[in-house]
Structure 1
Amino acid sequence: MPDTRERPVVFFDGGCPLCRREIGHYRRLDTAGRIDWRDIHADAAALEARGIAWEDAMRRMHAVDEHGRVVSGAYAFVATWRHLPYYRVAGAVLHRLPPVVWLMDRVYNVFARSRWRSRCRDGVCPPPPL
């Protein structure tokens, strides 16, 4: 049976200083290049191919896991952590504990709404180039 896994993709807002710092930390750990990092602030085209609306991706972190499933919020973090040194064990454990990830996602929602309001109010987040 062929392996249907693909390289995970992480979509992030490269125009957000906090997001850039966090993703920069993860990218430095990803020395093996296991994850395809996509800055949606610079290039939103990859979102369309995955059926993700730009505004949804700006509101919550999105990723495509190794099986091609689109996940967002805490689920996207867990999918990312499963491929990074120092986070791999936490990602594997959390992947097997859906109620914990669900709770993490509720907390993430509070943060994400606050980030969206502070970052994107008054048109600071322009829509992607056509």
Structure 2
Amino acid sequence: MAQVTVWFDGACPLCTREIALMRLLDRRGRINFLDVSGDAPADCPVDRAELLARFHAREGDRMLSGAAAFAAMWRAIPLLRPLGELARVPLVLTGLEWLYRRFLRIRPRLQRWVAAR
């Protein structure tokens, strides 16, 4: 039974590699991974362009984006759960979000680099 829904860009080589790793680690099937590289699912509460621009997840009734969405995904995976729980500390989450925003700036270059390999 999925506890977390994750929307990801299946056309992004960087994203697909990361999601492939998360699928391997999600041995209990607690994450529902949805590829939005085509059309966003009809029941998605977020615009497709926004889904492609930032990482999004739903944990229970809460819609999350950025570092908070990653933390929700980590909490669903036993091996990564401690990191996800640590991200519940506001100062830690603020730091992770700061890092995530810096990552978004270099993401296009990383995507090209990964695609070329």
- TM-score bracket for this pair, using the shorter chain length: 0.7 to 0.9
8 Å Cα contact 1:58/1:116 also seen in 2: no
Name the CA shift for 1:15/1:102 in 2 (closer, same or farther; >3 Å). same
Q: Partner of 1:52 in structure 2?
A: 46
8 Å Cα contact 1:50/1:70 also seen in 2: no
Between 17-26 and 104-113, report the one with greater CA deviation. 104-113
- After superposition, residues 52-91 of structure 1 pair within 5 angstroms as 52-65=46-59, 67-91=60-84
Q: How many residues align?
A: 111
Q: Higher strand share goes to which structure?
A: 2
Tell me how far apart the structure 2 counterparts of residues 27 and 83 of structure 1 sit (CA, whole Å).
Answer: 11
Instruction: Provide structure 2 residue ranges, at least 5 long, that are not aligned to the other structure.
Output: 112-117
Tell me how far apart the structure 2 counterparts of residues 116 and 63 of structure 1 sit (CA, whole Å).
Answer: 21
Q: Which protein is bigger by CA-based radius of gyration?
A: 1
1:85 match: secondary structure: coil
TM-score for both structures, normalised by structure 1: 0.76
Kindly state the Cα deviation for residue 93 of structure 1 after the two structures are TM-superposed: 2.1
> Which 4+ stretches in 1 moved above 6 angstroms?
none
8 Å Cα contact 1:15/1:41 also seen in 2: yes
Tell me how far apart the structure 2 counterparts of residues 32 and 84 of structure 1 sit (CA, whole Å).
Answer: 8
TM-score for both structures, normalised by structure 2: 0.84
Q: Partner of 2:104 in structure 1?
A: 112
Name the CA shift for 1:85/1:43 in 2 (closer, same or farther; >3 Å). farther
Of 15, 26, 38, which aligns to 1:19?
15
